[in-house]
Amino acid sequence: MDHARLGRTGLKVSRLCLGTMNFGPLTTEPESFAIMDRALELGIDFFDTADVYGWRTGEGVTEQIVGRWLAQGGGRRERVVLATKVYGKMGDEPNDRGLSARHIRHACDESLRRLRTDRIDLYQMHHVDRDAPWDEVWQAMEQLVTAGKVLYVGSSNFAGWHIAQANAAAAHRHFLGLVSEQSLYNLTARTIELEVLPACRAHGVGVIPWSPLAGGLLGGVLGEADKGRRSSERIRKRVEERRAQLEAWEGFCRELGEKPADVALAWLLDSPAVTAPIIGPRTIAQLEGSLRALEIALSPDHRAALDRIWPGPGGEAPEAYAW
């Protein structure tokens, strides 16, 4: 398994990040344990979760599953770079969400309790909080870092100017600031190429794409093997809206001799700004299949063909829409 530095830090993480959002709602606890064990065996040591995953308000179902897995010992915690998130609604009180200093401190302690660990390697703000001043946010994060409860801070779903603003405020406080940004990014969703990717490159922020297969749309939905995935009404609607592109896409992958899901991941891995796409396997077979993407080399001609099938926004701003 290849590793890469997370942004401008000295921390190295696997080129694929194990997403745990399915653990609990779609994947049973024993199956989740097996997937995490197998991920470590394969060299995938970067695990991502969030306090809201499990989708039962305030319970942190997925964090609890990950915590019980870590508590088995055997070097699990020492080997894993553990990432979780703060921002989402965790209760019915006014301060049970967001990025106030009060909520950040309480949410961190609760995540540590559920994860059964003394530290979070990467603590990510799940969304920008426009009501929380950066001085307040960074003071809270600094206290967690000083206490040894958090090692690095990242963001998720930030705009490019949020990243620049956040890191300028952190630099003013002589604090490391954001080291990663977790964004929606795949061949069908390339908006972040306008300003988020340039901001991340400028500030040494590693990009961690979520939904690299566009919710399954890039996983071979026209093929016979994916009838189960196509049974979703949402997917069926998206397939019909994009049928011409999907036919060209899956034809391209057949000519390349690779599975669509693997090519979609390989395209992300080929981007200099990307540290590690998040894969969210529901089974061990899906986990193991993802490793093929690490071996696929896309030529400039391949990338140009993919740009024709799945056009981006035209490059970086402002050249994408002006001179």
Which residues are known catalytic residues? 53
Dihedral of the alpha carbons of 261, 83, 184, 57, in degrees to the nearest 10: 110
Helix (H, G, I), strand (E, B) or coil at 100: coil
Helix (H, G, I), strand (E, B) or coil at 313: coil
At CA 182, angle to CA 244 and CA 168, rounded to 5?
A: 130
DSSP-assigned letters across all residues of 120-185: EEEEEESS--TTS-HHHHHHHHHHHHHTTSEEEEEEES--HHHHHHHHHHHHHTT---EEEEEEE-
Positive or negative, the CA dihedral 240, 246, 251, 257 is negative
DSSP-assigned letters across all residues of 265-290: HHHHHTSTTBS-PEE--SSHHHHHHG
- Report the Cα–Cα distance between both ends of the chain, in Å, rounded: 42
Provide the angle, in degrees to the nearest 10, between the axes of the packed helices 101-115 and 61-70: 50
- Answer whether 44's CB lies under 8 Å from 304's CB: no
Burial of 291 (0-12, 13-18, 19+ CB in 10 A): middle
Cis peptide bond N-terminal to 25, omega within 30: no
